[in-house]
Structure 1
Amino acid sequence: MNKRCTECRATVQVPLPELDKKAVYLDQFMFSIIYNVEHDGKLPKGHEAFAKEAYALLRRCVLLQQIFLPHSDIHHDETTVFHSPTDLRGLYELFGGDVSVTDSRDVELLQNIQFAKAYFEGIEPKISFDIDEITDRRRNEWLPDMHVDVRADYSQFADHIRRVRGEVHDALKHLANTWLEKKVTFAGVLEREFSEIGPTKIQAFAKWIEDVSNPDPSDPLALFESCGSPIYREYKELCRILEDLGYDEDEQAIKIAQFWHWERQREIPHQKISSYLFAAVARRVVMGEKKIVDRGLMNDVRTIATYAPYVDALFIDKRCAAILKEETLLAELEYKARIFSLSDPDEFLEYLREIEVQTPDDVRKYAAMIYGIE
């Protein structure tokens, strides 16, 4: 930090204290609440006081350099169909500390590749859950006192996002009806989720080949999406690994298919967490819970399965928070994040208060100088 005398203009450089910011991931609903607090909008009934205090505490902890609120591709898609997307995007970038996490599909790919290397080399899989490995910039830098907002407009993608979300919702509803008709069990759905990993990847790759060979002329984004398809990207990365290990091109497809059917695929964190979540959802559907399969469910599952192992805290909807507290999931899932929701808003406020109180004195002093907080 530069300090300058107001009289003689002499300047000295002062080293700032080192930081260790916590990653607090807020779901889209929570960012919408923050937006409404800033714009005097409608707050969730019965939680008006919580919304205002959470807003103040979050902002204070961010400016005290104790936390950052990462945004992701999941936020980006949900923001694109929001009524004021540009303003909301600008808010969560500025308000949260302007650090994003790697796209969810890229995090999944990272974990898949780490397991693939272990499989191909015959060693034990190891995965690091260091948050710095999935952030787009160094989280422990002091925030700049100026912010540049590009205010990009992604509205041209809104209809496509809505259409895809609708298709996914329809597929989930059909799946839920199947669960209900067959009276499935948690254990049965969990085992099916695990056993279908390999066949599903093979089917997805076959569909990718078909889509590239016969693109839909009525959908200008179809070919673009095919080129960035997660299954294609994974296949190419696996081919590269096998090439480096000395496998001929005609051997690579066989080795990849074998890896996709490897029993330990079920241990890959995003696979394991999402499978348990779907099994728990299926159990609730069979028990008669009718509203659990909604348009936001898939994004909620992706958020938890992808980021819970890396971030310090997750604020998610009440439904998913309750599922994660079920005995089976508590006993068999491991992830770093503390889980919060509107089911117990005071718990989240207390978490933020503890972080604020534990701010080192030297950090607090310089934060007051730079950002004007008391």
Structure 2
Amino acid sequence: MSGFTWERGPFTRCAKCGQTTMGILSAGGQLLTKRCTNCRATVQIPLPELDKKAIYLDQFMFSMIYNVKNEGNLPKGHEAFAKEVYTLLRRCVLLQQVFLPHSNIHHDETTVFHSPIDLRGLYQFFGGDVSLMDSRDVELLQDIRFAKAYFDAAEPAVSLDIDEIADSRRNEWLPDMHVGVRADYSQFADHIRAVRGEVHDAMKHLADTWIERKATFADVLESEFSAIGPTKKQAFAKWFEEVSNPDPNDPLALLESSGRQIYREYRELCHVLEDRGVDENQQPIEIRKFWHWERHREIPHQRISSYLFAAVARRVVMGEKKIVDRGLLNDVRTISTYAPYVNALFIDKRCAALLKEEPLATELDYKARIFSLADTDEFLDYLSEIERQTSDEVREYAAMIYGTD
């Protein structure tokens, strides 16, 4: 064949005209579309069903992948791992066995990266462009499930199926052509840095308090659990003050207040009570009762984050100074939000080590296997096993569509 065609190889024999001119026109979703360059006959072939594993990489890993692709600096002592994991992850993605989801946490951390547009484009393309529900929405989803159980006097049940929080493209075949939008969010970078700085200062103050009180793991864990209700009540009171007395010099104040997490939760709880016929005047009373329900400590994101903060406190009191850094809160949120849903998490060594300590190792329950730079061989073995389990049929189509060998 010669000249330009919209169809591409490999070309096979066309059943209609008999020429070896039947090529791939497009692929993705659930279908492979082929068309003959000679007679224009078109066929659509259903692609095999998939069940992709979700492997959540923290920002450090995506930055490392970016540097492998762009021949940048790789972490000392892990250069070989970086190159091998880059190849193996991409192969598992193209074989339709895994996706590497991105979240709002990635989005914020990418915004303050030195090449945010390129990094965002890389993790969307490289990982299969599947996003997870905003971490705050996941927390709210779990809170409302527990609220319904409380108001119905039923046993709480939260679905931890990945499809509850992943977008609908999880088990679709990747398109053979990728179109990206190079959105620029740099105008938000200074605000994100400022918020991270404020949170870091608050965490350092909390760490000083732990040291001063010589807090134990049990002390901090119980304090975290006991503070859930009062903290929500205090946050709601602050929100109410904001909307009742808005700053006349800040026209966006009311808009920002309407997006507060506590207001979103309160509004959802009102809807839950309204559905159950509870009078509007009684709803605030019932909501305050729910916020002080002892079983809040069983909500997955509450339980995991509380244990992690208690483990951090134990390290701080023992004299570890570097554990409270600017990335700690995002690490805790990543684990507490997504570990119950995804198949694997690759996180920093600090938090991975905390999860292996007691009582976290035996008292926390989540789906994800935990990996870090402390166990790179195990992660490579994990990916290799996934690759080996790919069916012959899927391999055949992946080779045809994406050129995998």
TM range (shorter): over 0.9
- Deviation at 1:344? 1.1
1:79-127 Cα shifts (integer Å, max 9, x gaps): 0111111111111111110100000000000000000000001110111
Pick closer, same or farther for the CA change 1:37–1:271 going to 2, 3 Å: same
TM-score, normalised with respect to structure 2: 0.90
Instruction: Please state if 1:274 is matched with 2:305.
Output: yes
Amino acid at match of 2:184: D
- Deviation at 1:207? 0.9
1:351 maps to: 382
> Contact 1:176/1:285 (CA < 8 Å) preserved in 2?
yes
Pick closer, same or farther for the CA change 1:126–1:219 going to 2, 3 Å: same
Q: How many equivalent pairs are there?
A: 374
Amino acid at match of 1:88: L
1:120-142 Cα shifts (integer Å, max 9, x gaps): 01110111111011012231100
Amino acid at match of 2:98: I
2:20 maps to: none
Matches within 5 A, 1:1-374: 1-216=32-247, 222-374=253-405
- Secondary structure of the 1:4 match is strand
Pick closer, same or farther for the CA change 1:79–1:217 going to 2, 3 Å: farther
Q: How high is the sequence identity, in percent, across the aligned residues? A: 79
- Secondary structure of the 1:25 match is strand
1:268-322 Cα shifts (integer Å, max 9, x gaps): 0000000000000000001111100000000000000000000000000000000
Amino acid at match of 1:296: G
CA distance in structure 2 between the aligned counterparts of 1:221 and 1:196, rounded to whole angstroms: 30
CA RMSD of aligned residues (A): 1.2
Pick closer, same or farther for the CA change 1:222–1:172 going to 2, 3 Å: farther
> Contact 1:132/1:138 (CA < 8 Å) preserved in 2?
no
TM-score, normalised with respect to structure 1: 0.98
- Deviation at 1:2? 1.6
CA distance in structure 1 between the aligned counterparts of 2:193 and 2:378, rounded to whole angstroms: 34
1:191-222 Cα shifts (integer Å, max 9, x gaps): 01000100000000011112223345676764
Q: Runs of 5+ in structure 2 lacking a partner?
A: 1-31
Pick closer, same or farther for the CA change 1:281–1:118 going to 2, 3 Å: same
- Deviation at 1:224? 3.3
- Secondary structure of the 2:204 match is helix
- Secondary structure of the 1:14 match is strand
Q: Greater CA radius of gyration, 1 or 2?
A: 2
Amino acid at match of 1:344: D
Higher RCO structure, 1 or 2 (CA under 8 Å, sep 6+): 1
